[in-house]
Amino acid sequence: MSEQTEHPEQTVPGGSADSSATGEERPEARLERAVRAAEQALIEFEIAVETFRVEVENFSRLHHQKLGPMYTRLDELEALIAEAKAARTGDAEDLRRARDARSLVMPMPGVDELFHDWLGSEGISDDAAAMLTDRPVRPPERVRPSEEVRRLYRDLVRRAHPDLAQEEGERERRDAFIARVNAAYGRGDEGLLRELAEEWAAGPVPEASVPGESDELYARLEWLARRKELLSLVAKELEESAIGSMLRMAPDDPDRLLEEIAEQLLAQVSEREAQLAAELAAE
């Protein structure tokens, strides 16, 4: 057999070898890999943002639930101290300070405060519905859910994320499912997350997507980049919030941070009580 017969691609004058024969990769294949990598990177970023959002929300609720009475007690003690001093001195400035201190104790709430967290984009909140129907309201047990809950959550999001959908109907199905996953994660409900994992595994398997043409893949990359920018703004807002700033002080154990703040507040309460006793004794 001649050498030309063994290597037919060398016998075509001015011709180029086929990519499958030469081992060269189609440009679309490289672009397809870039899109898939960008999708996975975006999903991981969304997981990080959502887990931090849950921690901010849980910390805020637990901070109010556990430490709110201590802050109220401190305000009351400040008012009592100021009033005792004003009664003793009769000074106009002391009387003004006493009135100001008393005005800070349980002020009349505004409309926004009265309905805070009751209504959202999806209607009445679960906590509000529970209160209106006499169902018990279950606050989060911890700022940061357990490691197993976090593992289940990440696994579910990676499998069911809406950004992996190619059709609008499939995206809507995933959107609704992930909303339930986020709610279960926010409550730290390990059992429900396991049920959701079984539900997703038993659900319809979407058809494998066919790699698009270059224009479609480029458009997909641009959309992913815009989505990443929006998430970055959300992450920045969370990090710069008052609660987010506090959480950054204890990234490894935010629950311990609550305990430390409680200890500081208890010390301040004891100090103010001693100050009040001294003020009353001086009358």
Residue pLDDT, tens place only, 213-225: 788 888 888 888 9
pLDDT in tens, 86-121: 998 999 999 999 999 998 886 544 544 444 454 455
Q: Which residue in 209, 208, 161, 210 sits closest to 182, CA to CA? A: 161
The pair of three-digit structure tokens given for residue 155, joined into one six-digit string: 């696994």
Neighbours of 213 (CB within 10 A): 10
For the chain, give the percent of residues with pLDDT over 70: 76
Q: How confident is the model at residue 199 (pLDDT cuts 50, 70, 90)?
A: very high
**Is the per-residue pLDDT at 229 higher than 70?**
yes
Neighbours of 260 (CB within 10 A): 12
pLDDT of the residue at 63: 85
Residue 119, SS3 per DSSP: strand
Q: How confident is the model at residue 178 (pLDDT cuts 50, 70, 90)?
A: very high
Give burial (CB, 10 Å; 0-12/13-18/19+) of 189. middle
pLDDT of the residue at 106: 64
Cα gap 72→268, rounded to integer Å: 12
DSSP state of 44: H
Q: How confident is the model at residue 26 (pLDDT cuts 50, 70, 90)?
A: confident
Between 7 and 175, residue with greater pLDDT: 175
Q: How confident is the model at residue 8 (pLDDT cuts 50, 70, 90)?
A: very low
pLDDT of the residue at 18: 47
Cα gap 242→59, rounded to integer Å: 11
pLDDT of the residue at 93: 93
- The residue type found at 224 is L
Residue pair 243/63 in contact (Cβ under 8 Å)? The answer is: yes
